Amino acid sequence: MYFDLNDEQQAIKSTAHDFLGARFKSERIREIAASEDGFDDAGWKEMAELGWAGLALPEEWGGQGLGAVELAILFEEMGYALAPSPLLSNTIAGLALAAGGSDEQKERWLRPLAEGSLRGTPALIDAGGPAEPMKFSMQPGEALTGTKTLVLDAGSADFFLVATADGGRHLVEKNAEGMTVTAEESIDPTRRLFSVRFEGVRPAATLSGSGEEYHPVFHRACVALAAESTGLAQRALEMSVEYAKDRQQFGRPIGAYQAVSHRCAQMLLETENSRSAVYGAAWAADAEPESLPLAASTAKAYASDAGWRVPDAAIQVHGGIGFTWEHDLHFFLKRGRANAAMFGDAKWHREQVAEAVLAGETAPASA
């Protein structure tokens, strides 16, 4: 029993922390957020050099072969830095290729993806549908027709993994005939969303996986995203504590008042709970896969709430200045709120937990 990062994991954390802190200062994030395509090519190249594009992808296909715990560490730091990057969508596409692709498909798309020279993104949600995880309505076939929406980072992706009603994944390259990519206006300007219209588009490949293989990919994606939300909460908490120590009103730092200090204590509780749930789930993904679905839903449900509520509380601690565009907090609130709704919201994940625990057998209590 040892529930903490080991030395190697600690090193990944501090490398990520230092690199991201230096690369994504407030001015740079604002430039990227205000740019036409929202994509930071120089930042991507540096991340690829650090091996992050393939961090949790198999070594034999050019990845680093690390696990979900290391992925969670990296994404917690990505959230802390509010890094605008297609790393999340690219990682999910890579995990799906690794889970369902043939050797030939992996050689052709996974290897360059893991090395950072090609970027992929999943196209999952059918426009107009219920946007429920792992349920798709687009019909499979030699040609794909329909609209996928809420597609992450489509503007800078080289290929799409398109999900169909049978649970399959079809690889479509960016310049395929019959495909139109349209930018949506996301509440989070640091992560862009798109709609992709397919009109009789012929996929470059169909992965051999039939659906089940992608469930662990989905659960890992939930854990990575929950880790990112934990990082957002951690940063918002730290900003609040600093501010509450400095800001004077009625002749004292506002952090001396319990209305403020108890709010900060609540933020810490939610951040620590979120972190524990994330690392519990990440550990399960690597070491105890049978408990991953419940652990991932636990983490995603908790972090969905904490990831926006903690930045929201941070705005209240900051008062008027926290409501200005000039202050960075609104970016954290917006990212946290978007994360809350992505890959199943808290309500959806709580229902998965209810399904598991109300069946009559409770989760076995370790130790």
Partner 1 sequence: MDLTLSPSEEEFRDEVRSWLQENHPGPEPAAGLDEVMSFRRDWQLKLHAAGWAGISWPKEYGGRGATMIEQAIFAAEATRQEAPAPANVLGLAMGGPVVIAHGSDEQKARYLEPILTGEEIWCQGFSEPESGSDLASLKTRAVKDGDEWVVTGQKVWTTFAQYAKWCMLVARTDPDAPKHQGLTYFLMDMEQEAVQTRPLVQITGEGEFNEVFFEEARVPDANVVGGVGNGWAVAITTLMNERAGLAFGAISQIQNSLGRLSKLARETPSGGGTAAEDPYFRQRIAQLHIEVETMRLNAYRGLTKTMQSGIPGPEGSLGKWQWADINQDLTELALEIEGAYSMLARGSEHAVAGGAWQYGFLRSRANSIEGGTTDILKNIIAERVLGLPRLR
Which residues are at the interface with partner 1 (CB under 8 A)?
A: 1-6, 9, 69, 241, 244-245, 252-253, 255-258, 260-262, 264-266, 268-269, 272-274, 276-277, 279-280, 283, 287-288, 298, 301-302, 347, 350-351, 353-354, 357-358, 360, 362-363, 365-367
Q: How far is the CB of 31 from partner 1 (least distance, A)?
A: 32
Task: Give the Cα separation of 116 and 53 in Å (integer).
Answer: 5
Give whichever of 103 and 351 is closer to partner 1, judged by the CB atom. Answer: 351
CB of 264 vs partner 1, minimal distance in Å: 6
Helix H or strand E encompassing 82: none
Nearest residue (CB) to partner 1, 175 versus 362: 362
Q: Residue 167: count other Cβ atoms within 10 Å of its Cβ.
A: 18
Identify whether the C-beta of residue 193 lies closer than 8 Å to the C-beta of residue 152.
yes
Hey, CA dihedral for 28, 79, 182, 115, is it positive or negative?
Answer: positive
Q: How far is the CB of 225 from partner 1 (least distance, A)?
A: 16
Least gap, CB of 247 to partner 1 (angstroms): 11
By beta-carbon proximity to partner 1, the closer residue of 175 and 366 is 366
CA distance 277 to 66: 20
Q: Which is nearer to partner 1, 69 or 123 (CB)?
A: 69
Shortest Cβ distance from residue 272 to partner 1 (Å)? Answer: 6
- Cβ proximity to partner 1: between 320 and 364 the closer is 364
**Mapped to the 3 state alphabet, what secondary structure does 251-305 carry?**
CEEHHHCHHHHHHHHHHHHHHHHHHHHHHHHHHHHHHCHHHHHHHHHHHHHHHHH
Cite the DSSP H helix spans in 35-83.
41-49, 68-81
